[in-house]
Amino acid sequence: MRILVTGAAGRLGGRLVQVLNERKHIVTGMDIVGENVEKVDVSNFEMACDFITGLRPDLVIHPAAWTDVDGCARDPEKAIIINGFGTQHVALAAAAVGSAVLYVSSNEVFDGTAKRPYREYDMTNPINPYGYSKWVGERSILNINPKHYIVRTSWLFAHGGKNFIQSILTAAKDGKTLRVVANEVANPTYNDDLADAIANLIESGRFGIYHLVNEGACSRYAFARYALDKAGLKDTPVTPISSHEWQRPSTPPLYGSLQNMAGKHIGVALRPWQEAVDAFLEKEGLLAANE
């Protein structure tokens, strides 16, 4: 397949380019920054449309987004322009040349009031600007391009750059006091596992909405505690706190666990999140020898 990947300088986009190249697809990376990518801004309709219609890919994978959740809360209009209208531009350009689209969305399109993990076709109801902007992107894809995949995920951790695990381990090694929210629940998801799952999904040709997350859910506190223990920092104390004690501009859904029903139905599933954390730590050289 001829595949265009937006956000190719980012961690998910970059990993997708690598995985898809290894699978012998013809891949073009696109971003506004970075090396070895086409410099195209999806929030600029003319620029995005001209590039996509000129390239005429079979599929556009669209992980490009403004993922600073607190930043989106401070500037909701910017969030809509990038995550909402930027996705609309991609969907329109792809539809014009008959290209399929895969849009990477978020568990934050849900309000967090469910009593069980959210399924793919449960009612969405975002409660913060980031979630709303991703929901606008979803609606654009659904309304414009019938050949679509919508992939929701949560709590991504990846190699390179800052993520939750690295922040926790760094703070622990620096001797900082660790206070972590215990009443916010979702699925920790390993970037490498997600990229592999997306590759498997597009090769299936089964359009639809998917929840691609590592199996199982936990609180932020349990996530931190597990990572510390597996990295040989079992003696590091962590104080569980309520989300009300951790003030931030955005209000995330307290219960954001996703259930992968549609993916499993076609054989696309991710391993348990604990195994994924172990694999991440091992690759980083941080997995304790006695573990």
Tallying the residues shown for the chain, one arrives at 291
- How far are the Cα atoms of 232, 260, 287 from residue 279, in angstroms, in the given order? 15, 21, 8
Instruction: Name 283's Cβ contacts closer than 8 Å, sequence gap at least 6.
Output: 159
Helix (H, G, I), strand (E, B) or coil at 263: helix
User: Is 244:185 a contact under the CB 8 Å cutoff?
Assistant: no
Question: What is the radius of gyration, based on Cα positions, of the chain?
Answer: 19
User: Is 234:186 a contact under the CB 8 Å cutoff?
Assistant: no
First to last CA, the chain: 41
- Work out the number of other CB atoms within 10 angstroms of the CB of residue 186: 27
Residue 179 sits at φ, ψ, to 5 deg, of -125, 120
Strands (E), 154-200: 156-157, 178-181, 185-186, 189-190
Please say if 149 is a catalytic residue.
no
Got the DSSP string for 195-262? HHHHHHHHHHT--EEEE---B--EEHHHHHHHHHHHTT-TT--EEEE-GGGS--SS---SB--B---H
Paired tokens of 174: 């620096």
Helix and strand numbers (H, E) in the chain are 11, 13
Helix (H, G, I), strand (E, B) or coil at 8: coil
Q: Which of 103, 118, 121, 130 is catalytic?
A: 130
Q: Which residues are catalytic?
A: 130
